[in-house]
Amino acid sequence: MSSRWPFRVRLLALLLCALCKVASVHAHDIDSAALTLTEVQQGRFLVHFRAASASLQREATAAAEFPAPCRMDGAYLECGPSGLIGAIAVQWLDGTLTRLIVEIDWRNGTHVMRVLTASAPRFMVYGVPRSGLASVAPIALDYTWLGIEHILSGFDHLLFVIALAILVRQRRALFATITAFTVAHSLTLACTALGMLSVPVAPVEATIALSIVLVCAECLSPKESLTRRAPWLVAFAFGLLHGLGFASALLEIGLPEQHLPAALLSFNLGVELGQLSVIAWVILLRALIARTKLQRAWQQRALVYAMGGVAAFWSIARILAVFRG
């Protein structure tokens, strides 16, 4: 008998090792920080920098680049009579996963909030902002992109959506399942962000990982079950948990108090767009493989085993985190 392992076993081991390498990075290991500028006199702003971690807190406020007329004077930013007009840039975001919230408060009570990332490390300030739609539009754009980034970089949510797409083969049933998932996570996301619901993060994250294990197990099982008969019901139930996970990440990023509904709606829209793009790619790849006649029964099983293995790894790590408090 040959001592060499079969090709399928070696491929599965390779997939599992690769995904475990990704899994070693936490699904939501994204640092958050905030830079607040409060106008105390005309053209004079008190600058305050705060961060979620000690290492990030050590970043100097001076690392932010302000418009040319402005200059730092101790803890204050002096912009003169013309006020704060021009580009604010934070170049140290390059190569990081940090979300930097920049908030500007003017003396007349108006408020501007933007989220800077490695892909968008600067934004323009045009003086005291206008009211109405002109002040909401940039926030809607920012939080829509944040929602898209979150679902695409949150590997646990991503694996759950892919597992659902593998489990539910009919497109109409898949649409109903994803819709149920979206409605459910929208409910808990809104309730948590509005302060109506508060659940410890660690048990939620552990249960999210277990939800992936369950769906992967259903993908491998030939038996008829509730998950196969009513996938929308299971997706709705687990969607409530995933919404709590979305909410914890959103609260870390921060929400603009004056435009809370717009930010929530936009973030949720971004999550939905990200989910639909992932499902579209799964359907497209499935169709291409079937058309080129490269599809083999073991390929899907290998992928599901790899995803389930990663989810099991997450589950154990997160359950231990719960008991560690």
Position 12 pLDDT exceeds 70? no
* For range 233-243, the mean pLDDT: 91
% of the chain exceeding 70 in pLDDT: 80
Q: Which helix (H) or strand (E) holds 215?
A: helix 201-220
Average pLDDT, the chain: 80
Q: CB of 204 within 8 A of CB of 263?
A: no
Q: What's the CA gap between 205 and 5, in Å, rounded? A: 36
- Each residue of 250-302: pLDDT tens digit? 776 667 666 778 888 888 899 889 999 999 898 888 888 878 877 676 778 88
pLDDT given for residue 2 in this prediction: 43
Return the SS3 of 45: strand
Compute CA 248 distance to the chain's CA centroid, rounded to the nearest angstrom: 10
pTM above 0.85, yes or no: no
pLDDT the model gives residue 317:
92
Per-residue pLDDT at 237: 92
Does residue 127 surpass a pLDDT of 80? no
Listed range (64-68, 109-113, 218-222) with the worst mean pLDDT: 109-113
Q: Is the pLDDT of residue 320 over 70?
A: yes
**Helical segments of the chain, H only:** 7-23, 54-57, 133-153, 155-167, 171-193, 201-220, 226-229, 231-253, 260-291, 297-324
Render pLDDT for 131-185 as a digit per residue (tens, 0 to 9): 566 667 777 888 888 888 888 888 888 899 999 988 888 888 888 898 899 999 9
The pLDDT of residue 7 is 47
Question: How do the domains of the chain map onto residue ranges?
Answer: 7-29+151-324, 32-129
Question: Phi and psi of 236, rounded to 5°?
Answer: -65, -45
Residue 1 has pLDDT above 70, yes or no: no
3-state DSSP assignment of residue 1: coil
- Give pLDDT, residue 68: 82
Length of the chain: 325
14 band by pLDDT with thresholds 50, 70 and 90: low
Confidence of residue 187 (pLDDT cuts 50, 70, 90): very high
pLDDT computed for residue 3 by the predictor: 44
- From the centroid of its chain, how far is CA 97? 11
Amino acid at 210: L
Top-confidence range, 61-70, 89-98, 160-169, 248-257: 160-169
